[in-house]
Amino acid sequence: MSFELILALVVGFIIGVLVALLIDNQTLVRRIQEANAEKQQAHAGLQKAQIQQQAMVQKVQLTQADMETAVAERTQLEETIARQLQEIEASRSQLQTTIQTTEALKENAQEAQERLEELDSLHLATEEQLATAVAENSQLATDLQLLQGEVALLEEKAEALTNDLTVAEAKSSDLEQKIVAVEAQLTAVESQKDAALGELEQAEQTAVEQSAHLANLQQRLVEMDLLRDKLSEAEANLETADSNLQNLQTKMDDVQTKMSYSGKNQLQLIRGIGPTYARRLNEFGIQTFADLADCDPEQVASIIKKRNWQSVNIQDWLDEAKALAATLNSDG
């Protein structure tokens, strides 16, 4: 073998090595570029997760503010109810006192009515006595006329008749005095009757005022029922706020879990998808869970170049991608 041939073989070998190194260098550069692209995608996913975390923190702060407002409203309502209950207790005491006063007034009114009835009875008896006295006076006047008529006829009985006349005049004077006394009694009875009627009217007016006060208290009781309804509503709102806070806390935990995977390709969070499958899907334009959820199983199998001997359940991938996409949308 000549020196030229050996030199040619060495040169050919060197050229082959250089070509192989050049090809490996291009492959390495392409892998570095792919790694940089994946790093940028991971960085973008991390920024998105951080933005979502900030939004969650703001929601939690707003929810806490709402809860504090609801607690303050509940405290204010409780204070208002306590104050209204105190007023109601005072009103009840006043009402009981008023009822006792009303009962006393009713008893006084009954006593006045009974006294008025007694005065009426006395008035009727006095009128009967007056009628009897008038009748007796009339009878005496008649007797007097008869006696005067008989004077001319019975002169012999003049002295006796004069005596009778004197007695009759005395009786007449007594009857007149009795009439004056009865009239005075009637005047007193009328005065007592007027006083009793005044007391009865005052008692009726007081009863009307107490009825108005009782109606006012009933209205305040209705307002208290409304305040209790508002308190129940505020407690329901507080329970809803607590539930929303718990849901937001759960979502925050989910975001923290997802952020722990921010250094990977998003599709690698799905069970069964490794870096190779994720890269092939990314090259086809499938970057997110939503992109993968919109694909068909046959389309995905073609993209990842699935072999018949590979045990890959693409439908599980799609179902999990749909669930993760829905979770991310609800968090956003």
CATH for 264-332, options being 1.10.150, 3.40.1350, 1.10.760, 2.40.10: 1.10.150
Range with the poorest average pLDDT among 6-20, 57-71, 78-92, 138-152: 138-152
120 compared with 76, residue with greater pLDDT: 76
Contact 60, 252 (CB under 8 A): yes
Give the pLDDT band of residue 43 (cuts 50, 70, 90).
confident
Q: Which own/partner contact pairs does 162-169 have at CB distance under 8 Å and 24+ positions apart?
A: 168/140, 168/143, 168/144
Beta-strand runs (E) in the chain: none
Q: Which pLDDT score is estimated for 261? A: 47
Report the alpha-carbon distance of residue 294 to residue 283 in Å, rounded.
16
Residue 98 has pLDDT above 60, yes or no: yes
Give the pLDDT band of residue 322 (cuts 50, 70, 90).
very high
Residue 283 has pLDDT above 90, yes or no: yes
Other CB atoms within 10 A of residue 242 CB: 13
Range with the poorest average pLDDT among 82-86, 100-104, 161-165, 256-260: 256-260
Phi, psi at residue 287, to the nearest 5°? Answer: -110, -30
Whether the full predicted model's pTM is greater than 0.75, yes or no, is no
Q: State pLDDT tens for residues 160-175.
A: 767 776 775 777 677 6
Q: Which pLDDT score is estimated for 172? A: 64
Instruction: Quote the percentage of the chain above a pLDDT of 90.
Output: 14
Amino acid at 130: L
Residue 240 has pLDDT above 80, yes or no: no
Residue 262 has pLDDT above 70, yes or no: no
Cβ-based neighbours of 237, under 8 Å, separated by 6 or more: 70
Query: Residue 53 has which token pair?
Result: 């975390």
The CA-CA-CA angle for residues 159, 165, 168, to 5°, reads 150
Q: Which pLDDT score is estimated for 253? A: 54
Q: Where are the domains of the chain?
A: 264-332
Residue 254 has pLDDT above 60, yes or no: no
